[in-house]
Amino acid sequence: MSIATNDNLGSDFDRGKSGSGVIEVERKSDWDALNRSPFTFRHHLEHHPLFAIPRLVNIAESAVEKRGPRNVYVPDDPELKNLPWKQRLPEAVRRIEGGSLWLKISQLQELHSDYRDLLQDILAQMEDFSGLPLRRTVTWAGLTVFIASPNVVTPYHFDHDTNFLFQIRGEKDVYLFDRSVVLEQEIEHFYAGDLMAGKFREGMIDKSGVFHLAPGTAVHHPPLAPHLIKNADNVSISLSMFYADRFLDERARTYQANYCMRRLGLRPRPPGQDPFRDRLKSAAINIFSKSHPKTQDDILYSGIRRVLSPRRGANRIVKRALHGAG
């Protein structure tokens, strides 16, 4: 599964299929907080063969051979960088235990049908628990796995998507912050392309909740909820399952329009204060977005990149389109 648009939703999601028991639910009421507040739950992936390190390395090597390294992140270490990919991945994994590095394999569902099936199972279960028609509204969903050394810290940041972090091996603490700590300008810059636009400030740690993850536990991150993650003194394997829907994508385009308006000296209203103006702003950015997006990056950023391109007069067009829509 990659893109789930109006045209191909039916082929990407089996709406009649129920989940196969990946997630264990103790209190179904927890899912009432979906996209609003974090919550934890148990899962059954901690011994799943799809997440054994040799299997993941094989999947990553195959992906690099067929598609290039776009799905695989390996640290920019001088010694690793000089190795061919066939040696670089196993060497990076060998160094995980005693080093201070992390690896990422993105969009697993694109690399093997077993991960695609798993993603569909998880989405089906989440739809059952939440009572929301997720598979009708999802525009993008995916699985990304992280393998990290002991005591590695993932810096403070926030993400566009609805996210669920499944702990498979090792332990870690996830610090999830109240959405109120994020400034509107930070979100605007994030949607203009600065993925680390969120700034950690003194005193903010008091506005976080700490969720300790061990194998078999998971935590839900609401969209745009800032977080930082600290590994315990162990190798960690975590799976991020995420999805975006039409509401999140439209809100993102509203923030992008606000970014453009602020650059033009205007003082735009935040999303949610005036739905009619929000729709105007989103539509203005959508004019420049790719009509047939192939990646999540295309969905989120193709429009704003064209607007900001110095070779286009898009800023002037957007200014006219947004006149009076502050």
Q: Is 184 among the domain residues?
A: yes
Q: Is 205 among the domain residues?
A: yes
Q: What pTM does this model have?
A: 0.89
Q: Is 287 among the domain residues?
A: yes
Same domain, 62 and 99: yes
Q: Is 3 among the domain residues?
A: no
Residue 54's Cβ-count burial label (10 Å; 0-12, 13-18, 19+) is exposed
Region at 107 (left for phi over 0; alpha for psi -120 to 50; beta for the rest): left
The number of distinct structural domains making up the chain is 2
Please tell me the predicted confidence (pLDDT) of residue 206.
84
Q: Is 2 among the domain residues?
A: no
Tell me which residue range forms the domain holding 274.
247-321
Same domain, 41 and 137: yes
Give 162's contacts (C-beta < 8 A, 6+ positions apart): 34, 35, 220, 221, 222, 223, 242, 243, 244, 245, 248
Find tokens 């040799």 and name the residue: 54
CATH assignment at residue 141: 2.60.120.650
Last residue of a domain, one of 245, 266, 290: 245
Same domain, 236 and 260: no
Residues of the chain with pLDDT under 70: 1-20, 310-326
Same domain, 150 and 263: no
Please tell me the predicted confidence (pLDDT) of residue 11.
37
Same domain, 266 and 299: yes
Same domain, 229 and 271: no
Last residue of a domain, one of 229, 245, 261: 245
Please tell me the predicted confidence (pLDDT) of residue 6.
37
Strands laid side by side in the 227-231 sheet: 153-157, 227-231, 172-177, 208-213
Strand partners, 145: 105, 239
Please tell me the predicted confidence (pLDDT) of residue 66.
87
